[in-house]
Copies of this chain bind each other. A is one copy, B any other.
């Protein structure tokens, strides 16, 4: 009888295997598609935040993100990230060689993450960065900087995935060997800190836009973007995409508990985003870090910061923890935004505050709020070690991305291909660089009105 049950189970598993595979590939494909749509979200969030004279420029940057990542991640990015290799980097499957057909869903899914990491930068360097410089940094980020970080943190042989085994006191004074490793479910650190650090370095080395900071006085000038509706469209698309970004990070849907993990991740994303949005809305209204108005653009950014922060642990947080993570993410966003302005760094869409600020906090938050062994639940040595590993991980990511970004942007600066000329910056990049004004004047108006005027 027992044998029979076993046989049935075995047979069953054999027959179910292809169904499981199909489910997973379907899941990865549709989630990846929604994540790729975030590119549209970033494009419009950024396009709304620049002046009309640079709208085409920022849009083509975001369109090209999709395709630069498409080329680079295929050619070598994936190999560095998920090819077998050593603890630091992979080197297999260049240009998808030797890939099994069943792996393409995973490649596609990971590609959409790479594209996200790169696109974060374009907002911070908007309105003054050379198109060719943009090309170069996008190739480096999607093809090398980001893939190496994913190898560390998401490939089974990566040093952050493997972590270290320690002896902790167990019950009855026994010692238990436990492995502590870096945890970053959907990439608060892997994606957003990478993007945010690179954005920061880019913004610093480019210098501020003309008119952003007044040299004599300490005033910070406001350069308004040209369209709130366009920015809001971007925000809405990003809210949508983030649910796929965090839910999809489970990576499979066929294993026991996968569905629950996905939906908890999705739900925590909404909870964290919601509380972050509220926090920033009221912080601003009551004039802490703000101008006493109900600001739409800050609310959007705050919600995004909340969603960025919850990435790392959205699968292991209780909703009430996600809510704390969101509140602190909004405060952290405000703080980083203030600091960046104070340091006279010009980050037009506050990419640093949202992605670096939110991401860093998110990585650390896991150590506190993980429902299995978070500090607030266990308050023991093991959770302190977890915290150390989270800090170590995010520190390593910052160091790696920072160093390479400094190198990359400095070399471009030295070769004078980083920033457009003052003349072009004043004129706007759309006509000189792209010959495509975003809103050509001659395309507006109705013939009969013009003829009446004549």
- The dominant DSSP class at the A interface is helix
So how many copies of this chain end up in the complex? Answer: 3
Closest to A12 in B: B15
Chain B residues contacting A341 (CB-CB under 8 Å) are: none
Chain B residues contacting A440 (CB-CB under 8 Å) are: 224-226
Q: Which of A71, A102, A266 has the most CB of B within 10 A?
A: A266
In the bound complex, do residue A236 and residue B60 qualify as a contact, i.e. CB atoms below 8 Å apart?
no
Which residues A95-129 have CB closer than 8 A to chain B?
95-96, 101-102, 104-105, 107-108, 111
In the bound complex, do residue A232 and residue B266 qualify as a contact, i.e. CB atoms below 8 Å apart?
no
Interface string of A262-284 (1 = CB under 8 A from B): 11101100110111011001000
**Residue in contact with A36 in the complex, picked from B31, B240, B293, CB distance below 8 Å:** B240
In the bound complex, do residue B43 and residue A236 qualify as a contact, i.e. CB atoms below 8 Å apart?
yes
Q: A51-B443, A273-B70, A300-B63 are in contact. Are A107 and B23 (CB under 8 A)?
A: no
Q: A67-B273, A71-B275, A299-B63 are in contact. Are A18 and B256 (CB under 8 A)?
A: yes
Complex CA distance for A267 and B25, rounded to whole angstroms = 12
Chain B residues contacting A60 (CB-CB under 8 Å) are: 294, 296, 299
Chain B residues contacting A56 (CB-CB under 8 Å) are: 228, 296
In the bound complex, do residue B224 and residue A442 qualify as a contact, i.e. CB atoms below 8 Å apart?
yes
Interface string of A438-454 (1 = CB under 8 A from B): 11101111111001000
Q: A29-B247, A70-B273, A228-B56 are in contact. Are A63 and B236 (CB under 8 A)?
A: yes
Q: Which 4 A-B pairs have the closest CB atoms?
A: A25-B259, A70-B274, A105-B263, A40-B236
